[in-house]
Structures are given as structure tokens and as C-alpha cells.
Amino acid sequence: MNQIERQQDARARAPLGTVRHDWTVEEIQGLFKLPFPELVFTAQAIHRRTFDASAVQMAQLLSIKTGGCPEDCGYCSQSAHFETGLKASKLMDTEAILAEARRARDGGATRFCMGAAWRSPKDRDMDELCGTVSAVKGLGMETCMTLGMLTAYQAQRLKEAGLDYYNHNLDTSPEHYGNIITTRTYQDRLDTLAHVREAGMAVCCGGILGIGEGEVDRASMLCQLANLPAHPESVPINMLMQVEGTPLANAKRVDAIDLVRTIAVARIVMPESVVRLSAGREHMTDEAQALCFMAGANSIFVGDKLLTTANPGRSKDESLLDRLGMRAETPDAPIKPV
């Protein structure tokens, strides 16, 4: 057997649920094509090996610097390239952010994610950002930031301040990417992810559905994520929130069955990652969300706002979990039992 044959042979013999970094797009397309019950059952079986399948992590978002972004991401309310009617604001101060984090924690969130509408932070912002990270960390919450591209130095500073996760999405396949964003490249994104890893932080990286991609793009994006040198510990799957004024304002909504399939495939190819059902729950039925949990999603964003767009309020989510007999993660009962 030559090397390629050996690799193919090893792939064919690796049981589903193995942590692998040698996926092919064709193999992942094969998973997408499985009969729906077969796909969801496989994903659920894999899910249970690592996680408490009845538990969901509650994460809360806060936009710490809103609007006026120089990037041209075709889906985004915060890009200065589009007239979306969003009011831009400056970086919030640490005390104001801390007050929101406290409110999130008291409402049951165990993870706090701070987002800024930047291409990248300026080195002169780092002291203030690091002070904010340390203060939020002091509340006992898991911390995450998403500030755009990072240099190795900036990633190191955030790590030293105690940041647990950095969120930076690949968003879509390398093939579809240029149709959505022209101001930064796919490689720029991979470089930032490498800086985050080298600094020793956990990676939160996923994408968006409903931005004109085809099924092959979804398979290709998941292939990129699963073949990173290490799987992102957290994988957000967003459904586009259509924003008036953006080029994608009238994009076709993703079919719920296609969403569930994508969650299931993400669970299978990244068996030990937290898969977060992120933007777009506002337009999902309870039944669709229940199927996503069956397929291996185990985190959601809570609160009535994401960064700038709507999200189901807390009482709706409490009622959903209650009706499903599921529980929210707590600090002493994590989704990943120790």
C-alpha cells in the first residue's frame, strides 16, 4: 500500500466519533446525505460519550463596541459599508461591562462573550481590554471575546489577562468566502486562529448558514474546522439574521431540516467540541431547536439581544428547556462531566 492508500484505509476503518483531522469534503458530504434518522441517531450517540445530553450551556453576548466597522461582511448590521440604521458607539468602560456580566450571571449564564465591531483591536486598547477580562473573570464566568483579527502579541496579552476563549469564525467555505467578504481573507482568519492557539487560549470558531452557500459549502466549511490542527473547543453555528440594508437582507431562510443536518454533522466531525446553536433562534420553532439538541447542539445564547439583533427572551428559553426536561449548565454541574 502506498501512503495515500494507507490513509484512505485508516479513514475507512476509523469508527465514527474518533477525533480526526483528515476529513475530506466528499466524506462529509456523505454524512449530510445519510437518512435523517440515521444521521441524528449517530450524532446523538457520539454526543453522549462526552457530554451530559440533557444539559445546555447558557452563554450571554454583549456588544462592547458597536457599529462603524470598516469590514464589509455582507451579513452584518455593524459594517460601515451598509446603511442599516444602527447607531455606532465607542468602547464601553469596564464598570459598565461588568454590570452587564453580573446581570448575565445572576440570570443563569455561565459564559460571557464580549464582541467589538473592529477589523482588529489597537495595541493602545489592550490595557483596557485586559482590565475588563480580569474583572469579568473575577465573577467566576467563562470569558470569551471577539474583537476581529489579533496579532500574536495581542493574543498573548488577552491570555495573560485570563481570557478563556477567543471567537473568530471562518463563516463559510473558502470557495464561497469571497462572495461575502472582500476586506479580509480566509488566510487572515486562519492566521488569527493560529495566534490564539499559540497563546494557549481555547478557540471558538464556526460559521453562518443562509448566506447563499450550497450544501457543498457547508461540508467544506465543516471540513476546514475539523481539519484545523486542533478542533475548536467551541463551534458556533449561526443562522443568518437578515438585516435591512445589507446585501443579504433578502437571502432565503435556511430550511430547519438542513440546519439540524448541519448541527449533526458538526457533532460527528468534532465529537468533543461544544456546538453552539447561535444566531437565528428567534426564527426557529421549539421543535426545530429540540431536534438541534437531539443532534448534538449543547449551548445557546440567552437574553433578548445577541449583539445587535433579536433573540428569544429568557422566559421562552426556560419554558423550552422545562418542556424538554433539559437543564441549564451550572458551575457545579457542567455540560462536560468531569
Catalytic residues: 69, 73, 76, 113, 144, 204, 276
Tell me how far, at minimum, the Cβ of 108 lies from ligand SAM, in Å.
23
| Residue 71 sits in the site that holds ligand SF4 (CB under 6 A) | yes
- Footprint of ligand SAM on 285-314 (CB under 6 A): 307
Q: Got the DSSP string for 212-232?
A: S--HHHHHHHHHHHHTSSS--
Q: Of 159, 168, 261, 281, which lies in the binding site for ligand SAM, with binding defined by CB under 6 A? A: 168
- Strand 202-204 and strand 165-167: the pairing is parallel
Residue 149 or 152 with smaller CB distance to ligand SF4: 149
Residue 79 binds which one of ligand SAM, ligand SF4, ligand DTB, none, with CB within 5 to 8 A depending on kind? ligand SF4
Q: Of 43, 58, 76, 263, which lies in the binding site for ligand SF4, with binding defined by CB under 6 A? A: 76
Residue 39 or 226 with smaller CB distance to ligand DTB: 226
CA distance 320 to 311: 14
- Footprint of ligand DTB on 144-163 (CB under 6 A): 146
- Footprint of ligand DTB on 5-24 (CB under 6 A): none
| Residue 40 sits in the site that holds ligand DTB (CB under 6 A) | no
Number of chain positions touching ligand DTB (CB under 6 A): 17
| Residue 171 sits in the site that holds ligand SAM (CB under 6 A) | yes
CA dihedral 237, 243, 245, 247 (to 10 degrees): 30
Measured CA angle at 31 (ends 28, 32), to 5 deg: 95
| Residue 31 sits in the site that holds ligand SF4 (CB under 6 A) | no
Answer whether 93's CB lies under 8 Å from 65's CB. no
Residues at the interface with ligand DTB (CB under 6 A): 61, 77, 113, 115, 146, 167, 169, 206, 236, 238, 241, 278-279, 306-309
